[in-house]
Structure 1
Amino acid sequence: MQNTEANLSKNNHIKSSHIKTSHVKTSHVNKAAMTEQQVLIAGGGHVGLSFALLLAHHGIASTLLEKNSYPTISPNDDAKRSHYLDSRNTALSRRTVQIYQEIGLWDELQSHACRIDAVQISEQGSFGRAQLNKAEEQVESFGQVMENAWLGRKLLLAAQQEPLITLIDNANVIAVDQQSDGVTLSFSYYGEEEHEQQLQASILVACDGRDSTVRQLLGISTTTYDYQQAAIVGVVETDKPHEHIAIERFSPAGPLAVLPLTDPEGDGNDEYQEGYRRSVVWVCPTGEEDKYLEDDVHFLATLQQAFGARAGTFKKAGRRGAYPLTRVLADKQVDGRCVIMGNAAHTLHPVAGQGFNLCMRDAHVLAQMMSRQVLKGEDIGNPTLLKRYEKARQTDQKRVIRFCDAVVHGFTHPNPAVKLARNVALVAFDKLPNIKPLIANYAMGLKS
């Protein structure tokens, strides 16, 4: 289970805005080549940074604009959480791990990643049970769980150190103008006084979140659905070691998850014991958030009732946040030389942890297609190419969207007949041959 936009730059407390010259880097390729091949990326969260790093891996320069202020960090900094990061965690699928391995970043990430060796699935108060085990599926793991604090820090460090990536923070996009051979992006920023600037490139990729400014400026409408739910996300300690097991539990309120976490390292949770620390995603109806946020005793008791003895006794609760759950789908993901990506393209329910991993597969495919254009000496922002990208990603995207919605609605439907059917389906999933490998491969992002 994974959060909605895992956005590195989520910070509502920043009141001033300026370009930090220490973070703005000029590409080391020659200026003519950079002008010809440059990509503009709006939105510097996890998806935007990852896409810029994917492009750099293929030798493609990009300029990334982020509306908030990036922190000043160095490779020698410890891993303490900073105010710009929240307490959320991300479940990285095997395919996402492979993508980070391809660009040489996984060695930097894995020290704070906790592998998932097994997944237990059940419904509260029902007989249906299923389990995925890595030995049975003959995989190293089903994925990895990582705190956003660490993932964001490492992505930012890698981008700061990459000469093909120019970072501009505190940049507010105000206009997008498309020409036949390029895109002009206008943005404002603050130094000693407010400034306005324009950048031109062959292509603009918008990774600026669910409420995307670029998407709105392009006049791209969205199809939205309010689940009337909120996700309560935080960290807990149990008296039973997690043993690298992820627990998916369905309750009348919605899907829940307890995921294994690594030992803390300088994040303010030093009292947590080795192997007893877990990420929790608790879904509740909209309007009930406060009682789970403000009262640790009530929160822990509610978790205990929902999960029973599967995770052991819930002993302590760390800080947590509440995030409204709404599905937002862009009605189109390509407009001329502009691509809508990440949560700007599809914001999904966090059930099964598919959202961020789907975004990474999108980014990987587009980076590969653009790389092939460069090798052929052709235009990386060619609208025909971008339309091919949009079409190529439809099958994977639609499958994931349908799966997430089917799980959410199927496991919260109160009809007794529907409840019986889904529990029979869980048992069948657990017992029938050939079903588990298929579902496991989809969940790991290996079938798209």
Structure 2
Amino acid sequence: MMPQVVIVGGGMVGLSLSLMLAKANIRVKLLEAIQYPDLSESELHHYHSSFDARNSALSRRSVEIYNKLGLWARLQEYATPIRQVHITEEGGFGKARLLAEQENVENFGQVIENAWLGRVLLSEVKKNNLIELIDGIEVTALTQNEKQVTVQAKRKQENIQIQSQLVVAADGRDSFCRQALGVDASVHDYEQVAIVTTVQTSKPHHHVGFERFSALGPLALLPLPGENRRSVVWPVKKGTEEQWLGSENDQKFLDALQHTYGGRAGKFEKTGKRFCYPLSQVLSHKQAIGRVVLMGNAAHTIHPVAGQGFNLCLRDADVLVRFLSNHLKTSEDIGDQELLKAYEQARLIDQQRVIKFCDTVVRGFSHQNPVLKFVRNTGLIAFDIIPGIKPIVATYAMGLKA
């Protein structure tokens, strides 16, 4: 029996999309190049905080999506709400604050450790009868005609051919599928590398998230489970990252955080292992190509400055599943090309708004010219005091105007 949807790429976007499709009673074949680790259900019931975990800030819309899937009750144990957001610039006079209570919401979103989010998603996929998971498989070719898409793949010494009416390519920034389809992408290198880790501070975080712009780069500090644990995402100039990596540089990294952030968190006492990855903006020129849809970083890779990338991908997935579900009520062709083009068009406004916002913030705060710095700080004050601006920004940040 032909699977209704094949997903190439089993990262968090691919895992989430497969569960959304299964919830809509659509069969899925999920292909992932990496061999997943064995995962026993018992591992999900013993939470141990890790100083090596990467993290995601889930908007309220993203939380709603996982709640619809019946997963939020399990995920919530590993999540921490953001109830305030503070925006400042090192050496500047301006500041802006968003308070959840003033916006009449319980929180702006939740920060969750990716290791635990991934474990819950993977365990749900493995036990779902509508999802066939094939890991350790490499896609080697992708072709299509008017009626179907053919995926050629290799698993160990076995050559595999899979056919489907619809393929969703969620295989990352350097998507093989996008290249196999001959789709170009616009690439902008920010000349930055993101340093990612978890730290412990002497003062509790009180559910406050900070965006602190500095000469080194925009520092994001977000609350994590445990009153004194915080997630760090710190984009720095490419070529300078080695001085912040390695256990021998732990104290140097903590001292740099202390200098940039000040004493609001008390003392930065402990840091986990630092990960790093280069930052660029990669925007596919097309997202619906015949019977193939590009999703996740394959469609749009954006700067993490506002923590919007994964949330945008989840909204894409949610809308795609809605389009497919409605279409299947009157047609058996789930890969109808006009349907997929309509989906692509429906997502453009939300995508373009988020992409432009993130890019503008990065470029706007990257210059240390005193005049520009004065303008930026004046803008932060205006944002903080002019009525009517904060609710608009908060609504978009929560993903509720998609």
Fold in common (TM above 0.5): yes
- Please state if 1:299 is matched with 2:253: yes
The separation in 1 between residues aligned to 2:12 and 2:201, in whole angstroms, is 29
Q: Is the 8 A contact 1:130 1:429 kept in 2?
A: yes
Give the equivalent residue in structure 2 for 1:267.
none
Deviation at 1:86, TM superposition (A): 6.5
Whole-angstrom CA distance in 1 between matches of 2:265 and 2:150: 53
Question: Are 2:319 and 1:355 equivalent residues in the alignment?
Answer: no
Give the Cα–Cα distance (whole angstroms) in 2 for the partners of residues 309 and 406 of structure 1.
Answer: 29
Q: Which amino acid aligns with 1:282?
A: W
Alpha-carbon separation, structure 2, partners of 1:378 and 1:73: 36
Q: Is the 8 A contact 1:44 1:65 kept in 2?
A: yes
User: 1:90 aligned to 2:21?
Assistant: no
1:430 aligns with 2:384: yes
SS class of match (1:319)? coil
The secondary structure found in structure 2 opposite 1:376 is coil
Is the aligned partner of 1:213 residue 2:176? yes
Question: How far 1:253 sits from its partner (Å)?
Answer: 2.4
Q: 1:72 corresponds to which residue?
A: 38
* Residue 286 of structure 1, aligned match among 213, 238, 255: 238
Report the counterpart of residue 270 of structure 1 in structure 2. none
Cα offset for 1:88? 1.2
One-letter amino acid of the counterpart of residue 88, structure 2 = S
1:348 CA drift (Å)? 0.7
1:389–1:259 CA distance, 2 compared to 1 (3 A):
same
Query: Match for residue 247 of structure 1?
Result: 210
* Mapped contact 2:52–2:198 kept (Cα < 8 A): no
* Residue of 198, 208, 222 corresponding to 1:235: 198
Paired residues of 2:26 and 2:130 also in contact (CA < 8 A): yes
User: Which one of 262, 266, 271 corresponds to residue 317 of structure 1?
Assistant: 271
Q: Distance in 2 between matches of 1:311 and 1:324?
A: 28
Distance 2:170 2:52 in 1: 19
Indicate the residue corresponding to 1:24 in structure 2: none
Aligned-partner Cα distance in 1 for 2:370–2:259:
21
In the alignment, which residue of structure 2 is the partner of 1:397?
Answer: 351
CA displacement at 1:375 relative to structure 2 = 1.7
Within 5 Å, give how 1:115-154 maps onto structure 2. 115-154=81-120
Aligned counterparts of 2:367 and 2:229: Cα–Cα separation in 1: 32
Q: Distance in 1 between matches of 2:101 and 2:37?
A: 42
CA contact (8 A) 1:172 1:188 kept: yes
Corresponding residue for 1:335?
Answer: 289
Contact 2:52 2:272 (8 Å CA) reproduced = no
Alpha-carbon distance in 1 for matches of 2:356, 2:376: 16
- Give the aligned partner of residue 276 of structure 1: 228
8 A Cα contact 2:94 2:378, kept in partner: yes
Q: Deviations over 1:51-101 (max 9, x none)?
A: 0001011100010000010111121125579xxx96311110110000001
How many Å separate the matches in 2 of 1:312 and 1:257? Answer: 16
Which amino acid in structure 2 is aligned with residue 258 of structure 1? L
Runs of 4+ in structure 1 over 6 Å off? none
CA RMSD of aligned residues (A): 1.6
Distance in 1 (alpha carbons) for counterparts of 2:87 and 2:397: 13
In structure 2, runs of 5+ residues without a counterpart are none
| Alpha-carbon distance in 2 for matches of 1:329, 1:127 | 35
- Taking the aligned partners of 1:186 and 1:108, their CA distance within structure 2 comes to 36
Q: Is the 8 A contact 2:198 2:229 kept in 1?
A: yes
CA distance in 2, matches of 1:94, 1:433: 23
Identity over the aligned pairs, expressed in percent? 52
Secondary structure (helix, strand or coil) at the match of 1:329 reads: strand
SS at match of 2:42: coil
1:282 is displaced (CA, Å) by: 1.4
SS state of the match for residue 176, structure 1? strand
1:407 maps to 361
What is the letter of the counterpart of residue 303 of structure 1?
L
C-alpha distance after superposition, 1:120-153 (max 9, x if no partner): 1100000010111110001111000011100000
**Cα separation, 1, equivalents of 2:78 and 2:268:** 23
Contact conserved, 1:134 with 1:142, CA < 8 A, in 2?
yes
- Counterpart pick for 2:141 among 166, 175, 186: 175
The residue aligned with 1:42 is 8
Contact 1:441 1:447 in 2 (8 A): yes
Q: Using a 3 Å threshold, how does the CA distance of structure 1 residues 80 and 320 change in structure 2: closer, same or farther?
A: farther
What's the offset of the Cα at 1:415?
2.4
1:5 corresponds in structure 2 to none
C-alpha separation between the residues in 2 aligned to 1:306 and 1:342?
A: 32
Contact persistence 2:53–2:115 (CA under 8 A): yes
Which of 318, 331, 337 lines up with 1:377 in the alignment? Answer: 331
- Give the superposition deviation at 1:259: 0.6
Question: What amino acid maps onto 1:432 in structure 2?
Answer: I
* Aligned amino acid, residue 259 of structure 1: L
In structure 1, give the amino acid aligned to 2:41. P
- Report what 1:14 is aligned to: none
Q: Within 2, Cα distance between the matches of 1:49 and 1:86?
A: 22
Contact 1:86-1:148 at 8 Å conserved across structures: no
- Matches of 2:154 and 2:70 in 1, distance apart? 34
Which amino acid in 2 is paired with 1:331? H
Normalising by structure 1, we get a TM-score of: 0.87
Contact map agreement 2:52 2:197 (CA 8 A) in 1: no
User: Residues of 1 paired with 2:268 and 2:28: CA distance?
Assistant: 46
DSSP 3-state at the match of 2:167: strand
TM-superposed deviation, 1:250: 0.4
Tell me if the contact between 1:61 and 1:165 (Cα under 8 Å) persists in the aligned partners: yes
Instruction: Determine if contact 1:328/1:348 at 8 Å carries over to the other structure.
Output: yes
User: Could you tell me whether the CA contact under 8 Å between 1:87 and 1:320 is conserved in 2?
Assistant: no
- Could you tell me how far apart the structure 1 residues matched to 2:60 and 2:332 are? 32
Matched residues in 1 for 2:18 and 2:264: separation?
A: 41
